[in-house]
Amino acid sequence: MSRDLVGYGGQWPDIVWPNGQRLAVSLVVNFEEGAEEQVGDGDPRSERMGEVISVVEPGKADPGQEQIFAYGTRAGLWRMAECLRQHRVPATIFFCGRAVERAPDLARMLVEDGHEAACHGWRWRPHADYGSAEVEARDLDRAAAAIASATGERPQGFFCRGAESLWTRGLLRERGYLYTSNGFDDDLPYWDAGGQPPLLVVPYALDTNDMKFFHPNGFVRAGDMVDYVADALDVLEDEAANGQTRLLNIGFHLRIAGRPARFKAFRDIVAELARRRDRLWIARRIDIARAFRERVAPP
């Protein structure tokens, strides 16, 4: 597969977003709890990454990891959902199908609050690991059906953990998806040239993301992430003022930013976005994708 290391070549589309601003901000909340691999759920292994790296022998049930994940939906979700309501900030929810199937009322509540239901796969796993298109297609369909059943909204956007398979984008095209977010290589959406119908890539980011609290080279205190996101906003606002259209992605997880000490990062970032609202377009990813499609025709 060829790699595109040039992209727009410094000549980004000269567009403005629907509210007249040049900087769009996408806030994402990942809803994965119950979709991670757990031996107790019948999976061959348990997820190792959590508050600590699991010390339970591979292949054995790990109730501690199960509980670390469960905190996200039992406690963290409620803080985060209320904060978004208070500040009237819309988000995109990356829903794993198995997680939604286990907590459909929680998924429905988030969509009723106005947030977008996007597909995060059936399980929290890299799609690059699928051995066949048929198995991947089955899991994509299971995930979409679970999300639609719980929320009444069929997903039009997709993002999986890690990386897509060689077949993922073709399967998304067949199923009528508007966009995928498995792209970390630009500050603007772009059209994937690999086939028809057109599929948009709305890039995501792993630096302005609370997963960095789980990495040794990442955030330690809540203020670390708040400052980092504010720095990103400052730089991109300056570029937008110079006529360059941009997109900033900010990612959170229920079990990570839902914890009290890290929730302060979520709360303060949402408040900062609301404070800058007249200089930004804070939008769901589906709305960003639609707006880009209206302004930049597919090849």
pLDDT tens track of the chain, all 299 residues? 578 899 899 999 999 999 999 999 999 999 999 998 888 888 888 788 887 788 888 888 888 888 999 999 999 999 999 999 999 999 999 999 999 999 999 999 999 999 999 999 999 999 999 999 999 999 999 999 999 999 999 999 999 999 999 999 999 999 999 999 999 999 999 999 888 899 999 999 999 999 999 988 899 999 999 999 999 999 999 999 999 999 999 999 999 999 999 999 999 999 999 999 999 999 999 999 999 999 999 98
How many domains is the chain built from?
A: 1
**In a domain? residue 3:** no
**In a domain? residue 1:** no
**In a domain? residue 55:** no
**In a domain? residue 183:** yes
- Model pLDDT, residue 61: 84
**In a domain? residue 83:** no
- Give me the amino acid identity at 68: I
Residue 248: give its domain's CATH number. 3.20.20.370
Report which of 2, 1, 12 is spatially closest to residue 186, judged by C-alpha positions: 12
pLDDT tens-digit profile of 160-175? 999 999 999 999 999 9
Interatomic CA distance for residues 136 and 141, integer angstroms = 9
**In a domain? residue 132:** yes
**In a domain? residue 165:** yes
**In a domain? residue 203:** yes
- Model pLDDT, residue 3: 86
Packing angle of the helix pair 104-112, 77-87 (nearest 10 deg): 10
Q: Domain span at residue 267? A: 23-32+88-294
